[in-house]
Chains A and B, each alone.
Chain A
Amino acid sequence: MSNQDGKLAQDGATDQQGGKKPRRSRRLIEERALLVLQAVLVGLVAGGASVLLNWLLHRGQVLQRQLEGSWQLVLLPALGAVLAVLLVRRGFGDMGGHGVAEVIYSVTRRGGLLRRRTIFSHLVGSLLTLGSGGSAGPEAPVVVSGASLGSAAAGLSGVSERRRVVLVCCGAASGLAAIFNAPVAGIIFVFEAILEEWTPFSMVPVAIASVVGTEVSRLFQGNQLPFAGKNLQVGLHDLAACLGLALLSALVAVLLARGLHWSEKFWKRTRLQDLSRVFIGGLAVGGLGYFLPQVMGEGYHVILDALGGNMAPGLALVLLLLAGKLLATCLTLGSGGIGGVFAPSLVLGSLAGLFYARLLHLVLPQVLFAGDDYFALLGMAGVLGALLKAPLTGVFLIVEITGGYQVLVSVLLVTTVSSWLSSYLEPLSIYRRELQERGAHFRTRTDARVLLGLNLTDLLERDCHTVHPEMSLREFVGILKRTHRNYFPVEDTGSGRFLGLVHLDDVREYIFEPRLFDVVVVADIMESEPVTVSPDTLLPEVMQLFETSKAWSLPVVYQGKFLGMISKSRILDFYRRELLAEEN
């Protein structure tokens, strides 16, 4: 930018009015300070929302416990789910899906833009679904709500897309940290499962928001460990046994992921209306819960029983609960219930760990293993890590909610191995799988996401020289002398319709043969069915076409009319500029 004298303006120099321009470094500091302040505010509000949901959930579950053993329990999840859908879909008008996938889509494709209604809709929906006994978790709704808060905060201050994404992540981290009283897990979850990148620019505000959310939670709920563990003595044989548990955890995670997928497909095939679907699904959960009340709700009391040794002995009950919880979760979420998979995966993990521990005792009674609670803890981390493809989240969550660093090595082993094993059958996390099915799965900061931010029509090269099929080679050579172009679109003389393409490389042998000048016409040398793209083609697809066709430029055609050429070099040039713009 130049000032009135035409000289380039520099940092600290005067602007056109003669005032001092702030140095770039000072501007950066101010912007980052503002981002930190916004992170604190988002952390406060998201943390508060999380605490409120938790408190309301526990009040709601009182009714559920009072109805245990009575026939009304069968109806309760159905009524709660119907009410949730009515309020969320008809009341808030939120037709959204399962939450965290929407946050990932927003971050990877939409620059962190989220609808404001999702601040409340997912909270209300999960409260009604879980409070009435639906088998799901409140964590995902809290993450979505916090993320939407971050997006709204960004919208109020008109920040850049990059900063908006950071604020979305701040909200998500704060919500999760508050509900678990686990600040590190909140931070790591955002970077592992949502953002998939670690940069200093985003780490500081996200960390601050997570800490603030945790402190809000501690202010109202106290600094209690959700599942305080005993002092565990872990030996080498326990570590060896972890490998088997990792395999079991991976299997359970895959079963849960596939079960949810199949359940959704099943309910879609029934063609029932959304209210009928959730009602019937809720009835099924209620029916299951009548016989196995432990499968209802978020299920943290089951984890406490597993960790505390309060579960009846034997393998059968544990296996039954495992299967029952799996089924209940698939019924609740597959039929359209509103909630997350965090809590069910932890419950399933604790049951899988307990089952494994008891199996070990049965098979190897002479070996003194660490204890049922040890394997239950590891199972929780293993299933969570494998399901979300976020092993570090599983590790730090378990460590923070149990206060026990003694299990750190074991947890690391189980989560990493289970994530690795499960990726053979389910390569993507449950959130990204949903996006992939919609064709919307792109990772942040990779070529595809940056390219998607570019518009093909903005990159078109329109200064092309069109030719006609009847044109003689002599006339064509005359054009060649006047242009720097290598590609020449061929258009019908009358209708202007695009007919093909002449590439200079293909005609080199002819243009130095004057005897052909009046014999050969363009129709003889053109490629009549070249690879073309339309203005709607996404740039990642265009790049793929460049790969397969080996071309450097492709014609852009719309309704049979040639619009311009799109070249690889131009795309890469704009791609570089886009990256630079994002850095600023």
Chain B
Amino acid sequence: MKGELFHIFRNTPFGREIFLQSLYTCKTMGKKAKVLLPGFKQYLMYFEHAVVTLELDDSFLRARATAETHARELAGQAGVDITFLEPREFTASTLPDLPIDFDIMTCPRSMKDMSSKVGLGYIGPRVRALVRHAPFPVLIPAAVFKPFNSLVVFFGGSEYSRRALSVAREMAGKTHMPLSLFTVLENQDEAHYRRILEQEGLLAEIESGHIKWQLAGGQPLREAFYSVPHDALVVAGAFGHGVVRDIVFGSMLEQIQTILPNNLLIVGPQCVHLS
């Protein structure tokens, strides 16, 4: 439902960390959480032009007897309202459908495929498909709960990064957290990005110092990224440069995920505004 964060709960210590991150995000944004206690290993999400399969590993189905109790306890401690989602529609008897009308979704950290290497920097095809088609941004939390106190947008001037910027500005409005931009100078000079920021109506705020804008270029990304605050929520657009470039060169997004341990909010090409 609009105004909610969707979370698939895993009743394990690692799952607890992810859930705490979801709850913190809800708390700061004034949202409620819709929690799924999975009873199946696969769920389908039907988007406008694609159906994405969420494949869960066995850890999501363990300890179901205590899952609800644990989830309620954590939510109660965090002061966040949660409700539990019971799938009502099924593509097949063992293949439930999930709704998609959420504001944000916390992505299961480990899925059945290679995205179990997410922690090593690889964003697998399932997560990529979810990001590509979802009308909501996808929150990929850090491995351990870390409250974020600011928002950093990786702004590359593309349409998708502008969308990420738009989402980040909305979040900054709701959370009252400082917002800053981070631009890696790749093929364009600073003037090019300044023009775009002027179109976005942000140049004045940047020049007044209200929004910090950091430019990085001429140094390895691993060094440049060091200046991203450790306690920032990194907001980035899914660049969507195409399969070839994604495979051969590796997207900026994957490098962000590889190098930065921060919580990451990915804004895909189909994202709409937060409610």
Contacts and interface: CB of A to CB of B under 8 A. Distances in A.
Does A associate with B in a complex?
A: yes
Interface of A: 93, 95-97, 101-102, 105-106, 109-111, 113-115, 117, 155, 158, 438-440, 455, 457, 535-536, 538, 558-559
Closest 3 CB pairs of A and B: A97-B92, A113-B51, A96-B92
Contact of A109 (B1, B50, B89, B112): B89
Given A115-B53, A558-B1, A438 B90 contact: yes
A115 B90 CA distance: 14
A106 B51 CA distance: 10
A427 to B, nearest CB: 21
Given A155-B49, A558-B1, A93 B112 contact: yes
B46 A97 contact: no
A113 B88 contact: no
A97 to B, nearest CB: 4
A370 to B, nearest CB: 43
A93 B53 contact: yes
B136 to A, nearest CB: 14
Interface in B44-82: 44, 46, 49-51, 53, 55, 81
A158 B92 contact: no
A571 B69 CA distance: 39
B1 A535 contact: yes
Contacts of B53: 93, 115, 117
Contacts of B83: 559
Most buried by B among A115, A158, A538: A115
Interface in B92-132: 92-95, 99, 101, 112
Contacts of B195: none
A438 B93 contact: yes
29 contacts: A93-B42, A93-B53, A93-B55, A95-B40, A95-B94, A96-B91, A96-B92, A96-B95, A97-B93, A97-B95, A101-B92, A106-B91, A109-B89, A110-B91, A111-B46, A113-B50, A114-B51, A115-B44, A155-B49, A438-B89, A438-B90, A438-B93, A440-B89, A440-B90, A455-B101, A457-B1, A457-B101, A538-B88, A559-B83
B92 A95 contact: yes
B27 interface: no
B1 A110 contact: no
Contacts of B1: 457, 535-536, 558
B112 A95 contact: no
Contacts of B89: 109, 438-440
Given A440-B90, A535-B1, A95 B50 contact: no
Interface of B: 1-2, 40-42, 44, 46, 49-51, 53, 55, 81, 83, 88-95, 99, 101, 112
Contacts of B46: 110-111, 113
Given A95-B41, A439-B88, 10 more contacts: A95-B94, A96-B92, A106-B91, A110-B46, A111-B46, A115-B53, A438-B93, A455-B101, A457-B2, A536-B88
What secondary structure prevails in chain A residues at the interface with B? loop
Which of A101, A113, A559 is most buried by chain B, counting CB atoms within 10 A of its CB?
A113
A559 B81 contact: yes
A105 B49 contact: no
A412 B44 CA distance: 41
A440 B90 CA distance: 7
Contacts of A106: 91
A111 B47 CA distance: 10
Contacts of B50: 113, 155
A95 B42 contact: yes
A101 B91 CA distance: 9
B91 A102 contact: yes
Given A93-B42, A93-B112, A559-B81, A105 B88 contact: no
Contacts of A111: 46
Contacts of A155: 49-50
A438 B87 CA distance: 11
Nearest to B41: A95
Contacts of B44: 115
A457 B2 CA distance: 8
A155 B129 CA distance: 13
A105 B55 CA distance: 21
A536 B102 CA distance: 12
B274 to A, nearest CB: 14
A439 B2 CA distance: 25
Contacts of A96: 91-92, 95
A110 B92 contact: no
A456 to B, nearest CB: 9
Given A96-B95, A559-B81, A115 B51 contact: yes
Contacts of A110: 46, 51, 91
